[in-house]
Amino acid sequence: ADAIAVVEPSGSRLRLALMEPLEQGAAGALATSLTRGCTYSGDWPRLRGQTGFTAIGLHAPAAVRYRFDRPAVRFTATVGIDDTAGQRGSVRVRVKAGGKTPAQDPLVEVFRSPVICGGDPLLTIDLPLADATSLELHVGPADGSTVLDRTLWLDPQAWFSSVE
């Protein structure tokens, strides 16, 4: 087994797949809609030949929310339909961001993808967050069916300002 070491400035980013989400679920969500660190089928996080250091798997319909202890300035991830779905499955993914409490600072949609289908090229997401302390990742069916609507978010990360 190979050992991998990653060196980065302390606190500059947070790998969401290593965090316990604040909330998860969506209306009609499957009980097994969230995976962390692997594909929906339990394999190493890999999409179209690209391997992730970390990953979140979401089967539509699903949503997962994270809260940060300091403001995030950016969110990055690479998203696609899990390779095990082959050419099937179709989804739209959304990202919402906001403050600590939705009542005081509601989450606002900051990204909505085009339809993503099984076998499509990967979607790279790189969003400014304007000091968000809450982040939600959503996946929903694009064609009314949820068959094989398994997304994999490779290396989803919240980035923080280097100035404290």
Q: What does the pLDDT look like over 12-35, one tens digit per residue?
A: 888 888 777 766 655 444 344 677
CA geometry: angle 154, 61, 18, nearest 5 deg = 35
Contact 21, 36 (CB under 8 A): no
Spatial neighbors of 55 by CB under 8 A, at least 6 apart, are 17, 35, 36, 37, 38, 39, 45, 152, 153, 154, 155, 156
Confidence (pLDDT) at 30: 39
- Average pLDDT of 125-133? 93
pTM given for the model: 0.82
**CA neighbor of 126 nearest in space, from 107, 115, 113:** 113
Q: How confident is the model at residue 5 (pLDDT cuts 50, 70, 90)?
A: very low
